[in-house]
A and B are shown apart, each in its own frame.
Chain A
């Protein structure tokens, strides 16, 4: 499933907010944070501040960062919320 489709599928889920929070917590706690460019991290923090992680741009950035730093956890989180990549 492409990331665009993933957003549409995720958005329809009743637990979408929890999904976003779960993904955020992976990004906030991964030991592989060196794989995230500081500018990308700032963009994420900007979106968090604006409450926009549940919007397309925020969600796609979040997915991109989680997939890059914790590919296995990314799949696990999606599965837990009834989705697949």
Chain B
């Protein structure tokens, strides 16, 4: 079981470097850099951190095939792999509809687009040509596993079938168990291929639970808006609340999101609370079905302390550090 952290490039580079060094020292397996057009570029941030760290793996994205051409994704990944051989991972997903809409894209045929992107990228990284003129004139140093980020059942099924790995985005226990079953079933029915299953869970740690919950709310809102409608119904989310959250998120009105988001809803989609709270919640996750857990942003009001606290919790739970 591996443990990683997600860093959100809304911070200045030097801060992200401090966090990445902290994660590396504490024995986390990887830092994943999330991609949102309104933050710093995950590609540039990955490049910076590839040069400023030594051992920790760096996960690029999630990149989506609407804003990024698959040839460009392969180019990014192969270039990065030259800077940090064997430490680069790429994740591809369908993006979230609110963000895509703000960029002027419509999320059409997400399954087909993601599958096409993954196959194209993998072909290019292997040194082959997906078409006559599409190619990379250089090879990545070391393997670059391609992960598929997935939430909905069809995307999870696709991810298990075509990904080297799957990034499952959910902290809600019933959803997570269902999701993992779909991925595992899909992978085993695809010739029993090995697929690395990482679960990303929004995390916020602070000794005062209220502060931890408050910090995670904007992140939960973004995840909530990207959830399949049937899941939102099961969570009992009212349409009016969704509409208000959608408007607030699209305008970047995060204080409004804080006001709108009920605590129990935030808690149902995140690990938020004190280190003890989070450790308790972690112990209830179906860890035996997972290969790794990514503590997703924000980590907490004090991310560096949160990483330390999480490490302590992991040691208590497993008797060892994040690399376990």
Contacts and interface: CB of A to CB of B under 8 A. Distances in A.
Interface residues of A, number: 14
Shortest 7 CB-CB distances between A and B: which pairs?
A41-B14, A45-B17, A45-B14, A25-B302, A42-B14, A45-B18, A48-B18
Interface of A: 21, 24-25, 28-29, 33, 36, 38, 41-42, 44-45, 48-49
Interface centre among A21, A33, A42, A49 (most CB of B within 10 A): A49
Contacts of A45: 14-15, 17-18, 21, 52
A38 B13 contact: yes
A28 B15 CA distance: 6
A44 B21 contact: no
Interface residues of B, number: 15
Main secondary structure of the interface of B (DSSP, over half): helix
A8 B21 CA distance: 28
B305 A25 contact: yes
Contacts of B15: 28, 33, 41, 45
Contacts of A21: 305
A21 B21 CA distance: 15
Given A45-B21, A48-B18, A48-B21, A28 B302 contact: yes
Contact of A49 (B13, B21, B301, B302): B21
Contact of B302 (A29, A33, A36, A41): A29
